[in-house]
Amino acid sequence: MKILTVSDLHLRTPLYQELATAVALHKPDVICVIGDWLDWGDMRSDMLDPIQAALKLAEMAKGREIVFVRGNHEADRFPLFEFTWRTTGQVGHFLHGSAINIGGLSIIGFPCQMGDADCYAKGRPLPSDHYETWLIRLMRETGVASRGLWLAHEPPCLALSEGWLSCPEWEDAIWQFQPAAFVSGHDHTTPLKTGVWQHRIGRTICVNAGQRVWPHPRRLLYCTMRFRFDGDGTPHLLGGIERHG
């Protein structure tokens, strides 16, 4: 199974265009959009509106699965995005402390700890504050398939993010359960300053795949990875995670 992950598009037209090109090039089975594909700030001339964003992502999702995880910018513009998405007839998996099984891989989407979750969470169960109360339940329900790919907007550790932008609770969860991969975004500057975008926590490969959007976007950053499965369904990451851009 081939997966393409991307974060922090922030409605920027050039990044959406480059993502469409990347999807056409790599032909992933699953696209994972890990927060901040929308934006709550003032609209700029190089930005799409939520309707255009929904239509472009729905076009990319044709013939494949697409998974969304909330970032801190999925706020008051999200209802219009979601309404437009539903008009396309395209299936989208909007995770929020929840999981979806695709081809034998249970992808877990963590709740974003920042921003206003009200617009995104309507009609979706809200996880409680501590991960153990909802993550352990998900892993019990999905079994070994849940130890493959975890997605969260905030990075889990200081190696990939400044402290106030990271979520140490996610690091605790990784140490406890050791999934194959944990992919995040959110912090746009730390990996550029340090040159570190990938870090191991035990056996888990953690990635910050956020964009260089400030003060303006450059080339799109995104990741690709492949999974294979043992006879008992245990997922394994093949050859690590490749970052592009």
What does the block give as tokens for 174? 């990784």
183, 184, 185 from 167: Cα distances, Å: 13, 11, 12
- State the residue for tokens 């730390």: 190
- CA-nearest of 109, 154, 101 to 134 is 109
Look at residue 216 and tell me whether its pLDDT is greater than 70.
no
What pLDDT is recorded for position 209?
A: 85
Answer yes or no: is pLDDT of 6 > 90: yes
Domain ranges of the chain: 2-244
pLDDT of the residue at 109: 96
Q: Return the pLDDT at 126.
A: 66
How confident is the model over 147-172, as a mean pLDDT?
A: 95
pLDDT at 215 over 60: no
- Decide: helix, strand or coil at residue 6: strand
Q: Any idea which residue has 């999934």 for tokens?
A: 179
User: Pairing between strand 105-109 and 149-151?
Assistant: parallel
With 60 as the cut, is the pLDDT of residue 23 above it?
yes
Say if residue 87's pLDDT is above 60. Answer: yes
The per-residue pLDDT for 245 is 87
DSSP character at residue 76: T
CATH number at 2-244: 3.60.21.10
Per-residue pLDDT at 129: 65
pLDDT score for 25: 98
Q: What is the mean pLDDT of residues 34-58?
A: 94
pLDDT at residue 17 tops 70: yes
Could you read off the pLDDT of 223-234 as tens digits, one per residue?
Answer: 999 999 998 899
Does 41 score more than 90 pLDDT?
A: no
Q: What share of the chain is helix, strand, coil (3-state, %, to 5)?
A: 30, 25, 45
Residue 131 pLDDT class (50, 70, 90 cuts): confident
Cβ neighbourhood burial of 89 (10 Å; 0-12, 13-18, 19+) = exposed
Could you tell me the pLDDT band of residue 30, with boundaries at 50, 70 and 90?
A: very high
- Looking at residue 76, what is its pLDDT? 92
pLDDT at 124 exceeding the cut of 80: no
